[in-house]
Amino acid sequence: MKGSLKTQKRLASDLLGVGDKRVWLDPTKFKEIKEAITKADIAELVKKGMIKKKALVGQSRSRARALHAKKRKGHRRGLGSRKGSKSARADFEWVDRVRALRNELSKQRKNGNIDRKQFRILYKKIKGNAFHSVTHMRNYIDNMKRGMV
């Protein structure tokens, strides 16, 4: 039955603009469909509803949405889900370091260890990732006072 309607299916797929697999032929109207041999005949059968275009079969996102909802709540972050080290998973490591450096810089200015111009230079250096710790910056300021930098 299926093999004998190959031509009709091909013509219908051309007409409907879809692949062969998305063409539905009414199994109760087998004889009428078999007699249709031109595109005009096939177009008439499409108009009558004997030949139809099947809907696209999509992939459901319901499971993905449920998963993302759990992740938003902070779930699914247990030991078995972790790949990197603690430091590799730390999101705000750079931000924390920059905040600590900027706080220390403000203290240094407040105590009178550095003036406004030096403050601005050091602030830019912090932004440019020049210091890897507060101690490193303190040593730099000490060397700056001594005239070594």
Tens digit of pLDDT for each residue in 120-136? 999 999 999 999 999 99
Topology of the domain covering 3-53:
50s Ribosomal Protein L19e, Chain O, domain 1 (1.10.1650)
Contacts of 12 (CB under 8 A, 6+ apart): 23, 25, 42, 45, 46, 51
Q: Which of 80, 86, 133, 141 is nearest to 111 (CA)?
A: 141
Tens digit of pLDDT for each residue in 3-53? 579 999 999 999 999 999 999 999 999 999 999 999 999 999 999 999 999
Task: For domain 93-146, say whether CATH 3.20.20.70 is its number.
Answer: no
Residue with structure tokens 């177009």?
Answer: 43
**What is the 8-class DSSP label of residue 55?**
P
Domain-wise residue ranges, the chain: 3-53, 93-146
Burial of 102 by CB count in 10 Å (0-12 exposed, 13-18 middle, 19+ buried)? middle
pTM of structure: 0.46
